[in-house]
């Protein structure tokens, strides 16, 4: 009985080992290719759940069913104008045929290496075939213009293709080259496009020089306008002064005429009144012409002398 019990336990252990080595679980994010002695057996397993294989002699190759990322290294690439730009791009891809993928690329590392060759090559060809304006712009929308800058300096040149269409063209050509590898490139985008360091410095200096030229133009126009305003101000000031002087002279002339009329009317009165006005006029003249340092010499026949003598 003991040996029978031992045999039964051994058989159960063997069955458990066989079951464990033959059963496998496929997750929803996985797809499996079964090989026997290195050769594929049957169709790829893409349905999730519990599956079985021949124990010990069959192997499993599990591949991801989800979208996978490709992130390229930034590269210096010349444009159609022979200007070097730094291009950084990324893509999303998927294993569309796991059996073909296993036969041609073996694993994801091999796929990433192959994608480097395909996408970098197609990106280099596309960049070298287009000008920088085509690479950085997508549409011909009209941006706010800067006065004093021409269309080229403002990047306002109309484009024929544009960044989006260039990326789509790279995607199509890359998928054509990836055909037969068991993969499908889903999307390709430019992450960054910029001038290389030495060219970027030259562009910045050119931009600064252009802005300084515009500033000098505005400054010159402002100085010209300021000179024009100052000239108009001086002309207006002189006109006002001349007009004020003219009016003052008119008023003074009228006043003198009225004073002369008053004097004439006074002279036409009695001799005493005429003598009084003559005396006042003489006093006014003396007041305007004499000061403390003035020495006045009068004759005894002078009316002023007689007047002053009577005041004693």
- Of 60, 58, 64, nearest in space to 27 by CA: 64
* Separate counts of helices (H) and strands (E) for the chain: 8, 9
Structural domains in the chain, CATH included, are 2-63 (no CATH), 68-195 (3.30.479.30), 234-311 (no CATH)
Give the 3-state secondary structure of residue 86.
strand
- Residue 139: band (very low, low, confident or very high) from pLDDT cuts 50, 70, 90: confident
Give the 3-state secondary structure of residue 261.
helix
Bridge partners (DSSP) of residue 36 are: 39, 58
* Per-residue confidence (pLDDT) for residue 215, from 0 to 100: 86
Q: Which residue has the higher pLDDT, 120 or 203?
A: 120
- Distance separating alpha carbons of residues 83 and 192, to the nearest angstrom: 16
The label of the residue with tokens 């306002």 reads 156
* Per-residue confidence (pLDDT) for residue 167, from 0 to 100: 95
Average pLDDT over residues 204-232: 85
Cβ(108)–Cβ(55) under 8 Å?
no
- Distance separating alpha carbons of residues 152 and 80, to the nearest angstrom: 16
pLDDT tens digit string along 185-199?
A: 999 999 999 888 777
Q: Which two tokens stand for residue 189?
A: 């985008």
DSSP label at 277?
Answer: H
DSSP label at 28?
Answer: T
- Whether the predicted pLDDT of 178 surpasses 90: yes
* Cβ neighbours around 32 below 10 Å, total: 20
**251 in the Ramachandran plot: left (φ > 0), alpha (ψ -120 to 50) or beta?**
alpha
- Whether the predicted pLDDT of 282 surpasses 80: no
């Amino acid at each position: 009985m003991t040996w029978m019990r031992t045999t039964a336990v051994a058989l159960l252990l063997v069955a458990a080992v066989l079951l464990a080595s033959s059963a496998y679980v496929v997750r929803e994010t996985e797809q499996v290719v079964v090989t026997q002695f290195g050769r594929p057996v049957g169709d790829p397993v893409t349905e999730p759940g519990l599956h079985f294989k021949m124990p010990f002699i069959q192997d499993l190759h599990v591949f991801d069913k989800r979208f996978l990322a490709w992130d390229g290294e930034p590269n210096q690439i010349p444009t159609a104008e022979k200007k070097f730009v730094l291009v950084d791009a990324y893509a999303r891809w998927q294993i569309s045929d796991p059996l073909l993928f296993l036969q041609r690329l073996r694993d994801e590392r091999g796929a990433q290496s192959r994608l480097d060759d395909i996408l970098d090559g197609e990106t280099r060809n596309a960049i070298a075939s287009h000008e920088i304006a085509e690479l950085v712009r997508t549409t011909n929308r009209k941006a706010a213009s800067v006065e004093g800058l021409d269309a080229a300096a403002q990047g306002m040149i109309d484009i024929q293709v544009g960044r989006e269409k260039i990326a789509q063209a790279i995607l199509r050509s890359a998928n054509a080259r990836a055909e037969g590898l068991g993969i499908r490139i889903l999307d390709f985008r430019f992450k960054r496009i910029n001038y290389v360091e030495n060219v970027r410095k030259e562009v910045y200096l050119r931009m600064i020089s252009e802005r300084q030229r515009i500033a000098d133009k505005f400054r010159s126009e402002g100085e010209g306008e300021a000179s024009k305003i100052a000239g108009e101000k001086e002309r207006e000031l002189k006109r006002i002064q001349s007009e004020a002087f003219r009016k003052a002279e008119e008023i003074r002339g009228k006043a003198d005429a009225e004073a002369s009329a008053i004097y004439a009317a006074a002279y036409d009165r009695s001799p005493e009144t005429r003598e009084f006005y003559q005396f006042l006029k003489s006093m006014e003249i003396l007041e305007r012409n004499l000061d403390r340092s003035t020495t006045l010499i009068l004759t005894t026949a002078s009316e002023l002398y007689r007047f002053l003598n009577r005041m004693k």
